[in-house]
Amino acid sequence: MTLFRIENLRKSFGGLEVIRGVSLEVAQGQRLALIGPNGAGKTTVFNLINGYYRPDEGRILLDGQDLVPMAPRLRIRHGLARSFQNIRLIPHLTVEENVLLGAHIHAGGMLAQALPLFMGRGRKLREQARGLLEDAGLTAHRGALAGSLAYGLRKRVEVVRALMARPRLLLLDEPCAGLNTQERGVLMEELQRIAASGVTMMVVEHDMHFVGGLCDRAIVLNFGEKIAEGTPAEVARDPAVIEAYLGHEPEKYAHA
């Protein structure tokens, strides 16, 4: 069953068309990678989905409802969440407080999160945040200031914060950026666990080993156009993808 669909998406900046008629579908529970060289338009697609940009043409549908007329906060309420390539945790707040901020759209806005959360709904939100941190193996860091954590841990906390919005579709923008091999392995295991819980994912990522281990489908963009679609192994063997992006033998980049 299709959960998310983009139809003929187009976006230009200053007369330069950076997204050129892109269409794609993501099935419920699927893990779709959006890959391609720098400047291909991947993050622009994410920004269009989030509502940071408005498309010149096309529709963006989540569970059959067009997101284009919606404000970004309403898209979150409808089931969309995102983590960012550049970490956006608040360094002087604790890990738990940062995770709680992920629920602000359901708790009545940022002001509600700025108040003490010890009674009523606030208590339930704290329980939810602590449960998510426990599931991620991050309970020991709950009271630490986010700014004091190692980079890999902060990346994982940002994913947990996105889960507080109870997403049906989770967008992950270069989750491996800046991580070492061990950290990437831990993050992959965590995302596989989250996917197994039923969360649908779209991932922008350059690490094709990571893509091959996490995602079941991949779409390749180049100069704002879709040039290939299939499993990670299939797109890694596509001559157009090798020429435009990989530039190496396909077996180096994707699992069979």
What is the model's pTM? Answer: 0.86
Predicted local confidence at residue 248, as pLDDT? 55
160 in the same domain as 107: yes
How many domains would you assign to the chain? 2
User: At which residue do the structure tokens 């449960």 appear?
Assistant: 131
- What is the tens place of the pLDDT at every residue in 60-103? 999 999 999 999 888 988 999 988 767 788 899 999 999 998 88
pLDDT digit string, tens, across residues 127-138 = 999 999 999 999
**Antiparallel, parallel or unpaired: β 57-62 and 65-66:** antiparallel
Residues of the domain holding 160: 91-166
5 and 101 in a single domain? The answer is no
Tokens of 56: 């010149």
pLDDT of residue 60: 97
Same domain, 253 and 212: yes
- For residue 85, being part of any structural domain is answered with no
pLDDT at 172 over 60: yes
- pLDDT confidence tier of residue 256, bands split at 50, 70 and 90: very low
Residues 152 and 192 in one domain: no
Secondary structure E strands in 14-90 = 16-27, 31-35, 57-62, 65-66, 80-83
CATH of the domain at 196: 3.40.50.300
pLDDT band of 6, cuts 50, 70, 90: very high
Residue 217 lies in a domain: yes
Tell whether 249 and 192 lie within a shared domain: yes
Is 186 inside a domain boundary?
Answer: yes
Does a structural domain hold residue 84? no
The pLDDT value recorded for residue 105 is 59
Same domain, 109 and 48: no
End-of-domain residue from the set 132, 166, 200: 166
Residues comprising the chain, all counted: 256
Percent of the chain residues past pLDDT 90, beyond the cut: 68
Report yes or no: 246 and 36 within 8 Å, Cβ to Cβ.
no
Angle at 223 between CA 220 and CA 229, to 5 degrees: 15
Same domain, 182 and 73: yes
Cβ neighbours for 118, distance < 8 A, ≥ 6 positions apart: 126
What is the largest distance, in Å, between two alpha-carbon atoms of the chain?
Answer: 59
71 & 100 share domain: no
Range with the largest mean pLDDT of 29-33, 73-77, 249-253: 29-33
